[in-house]
């Protein structure tokens, strides 16, 4: 490939686009551009891609389906989109399976794939938008389950070392909506994720609403498929659909506080929604905090807080990323003033 890319350049396994629009590559649907967009469709070309002059100068911004990012401005460097596809069965036995899934596969499609083949575990994580490659980065979670519970290993390209690595679960630094991949952005590019999926697992039904939804469905003996159906019904009812209105799902993490701080808040606000964590701390409902400050359903121009769920910021049409972020900052400041708790964004804010 020539030293300077002009327009679009296609190479085996990847494509390079100059001055590329990102408006269709983020679920907020905000306008943004990248100086260079490199889309990779084969993981074996990553060493060649990272040898390009543009990527030797500075790390890229790594993008999946754009369901966990808010662009407040253009990206002056390289956006690397990993579109590698494929699902490979590594082992299959009476107790479960070991499956290798390429980073570019759609997460929800993979969940449905696993359920259709009789595997359990991922049912609580149905309908989460994004790619399989984003799952370990964010350690996605919902309805009492996290992806890290089922991840055996992650295949990555280490930009620092200039080679591929296989990171075991214990090496991924998984935490609540966090991982080593998120803490070292641009260094580790996820190429594939290896999952251990059991055939039989005790269903996890304790998260608010799941048992009630199953009861409404008339289900008395839940299976992974029926739990997934209940979760999809709950998500569809409670969360705005990114296909209909721009959003990135939950915008803020549920904050964890000390038992003493939680008790003090409960005394002042008896309706506070909180639950205990295994480490003794208390996790507070960020949605409750935001709604208590009066933000649910608020709209400023085309930037708004969803009327369906206070944890979701939305783009009603023509909002810019900067306008959505300004609203997010206003929400954070109000919650901190009233409750003394600092909310942290869940998506990556550029």
Catalytic residues: 177, 250, 346
Alpha helices in 190-223 (DSSP H): 210-216
Q: Give the residue among 34, 42, 33, 35 at the shortest CA–CA distance from 15.
A: 42
In this structure, the dihedral spanned by the alpha carbons of residues 138, 139, 141 and 144, taken in order and rounded to 10 degrees, is -150
Residue 7's contacts (CB-CB under 8 Å, 6 or more residues apart) are 17, 18
Residue 61's contacts (CB-CB under 8 Å, 6 or more residues apart) are 34, 75, 77, 78, 79, 80, 185, 186, 350
d(CA 4, CA 274) in angstroms, rounded, equals: 54
Q: How far is CA 23 from the centre of its chain?
A: 18
Taking a C-beta distance cutoff of 8 angstroms, is the pair 128, 112 a contact? no
């Amino acid at each position: 490939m020539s030293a300077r890319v002009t327009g679009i350049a296609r190479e085996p396994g990847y494509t390079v686009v100059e001055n590329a629009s990102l408006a269709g590559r983020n679920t907020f649907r905000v306008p943004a551009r990248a100086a260079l967009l490199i889309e990779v469709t084969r993981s074996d070309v990553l060493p060649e891609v990272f040898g390009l002059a543009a990527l030797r100068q500075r790390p890229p911004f790594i993008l999946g389906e754009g369901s966990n990012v808010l662009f407040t401005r253009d990206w002056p460097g390289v956006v690397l989109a990993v579109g590698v596809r494929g699902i490979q069965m590594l082992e299959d036995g009476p107790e479960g399976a070991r499956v290798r899934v390429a980073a570019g596969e759609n997460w929800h499609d993979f969940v449905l794939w696993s359920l259709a083949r009789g595997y359990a575990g991922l049912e609580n994580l149905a309908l989460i938008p994004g790619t399989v490659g984003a799952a370990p980065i964010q350690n996605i979670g919902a309805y009492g389950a996290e992806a890290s519970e089922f991840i055996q290993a992650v295949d990555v390209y280490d930009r620092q070392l200039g080679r591929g690595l296989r990171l075991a679960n214990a090496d991924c630094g998984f935490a609540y909506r966090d991982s080593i991949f998120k803490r070292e952005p641009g260094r580790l590019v996820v190429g594939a994720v290896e999952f251990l999926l059991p055939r039989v697992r005790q269903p996890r039904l304790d998260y608010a609403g799941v048992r009630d939804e199953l009861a409404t469905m008339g289900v008395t003996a839940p299976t992974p498929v029926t739990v997934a159906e209940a979760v999809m019904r709950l998500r569809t009812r409670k969360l705005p659909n990114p296909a209909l209105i721009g959003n990135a799902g939950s915008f803020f993490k549920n904050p964890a506080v000390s038992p003493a701080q939680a008790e003090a808040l409960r005394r002042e606000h008896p309706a506070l929604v909180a639950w205990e964590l295994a480490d003794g701390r208390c996790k507070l409902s960020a949605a409750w905090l935001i709604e208590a400050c009066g933000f649910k359903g608020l709209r400023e121009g085309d930037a708004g807080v969803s009327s369906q769920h206070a944890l979701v910021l939305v783009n009603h049409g023509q909002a810019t990323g900067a306008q959505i972020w300004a609203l997010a900052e206003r929400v954070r400041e109000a919650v901190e003033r009233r409750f003394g708790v600092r909310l942290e964004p869940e998506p990556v804010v550029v």
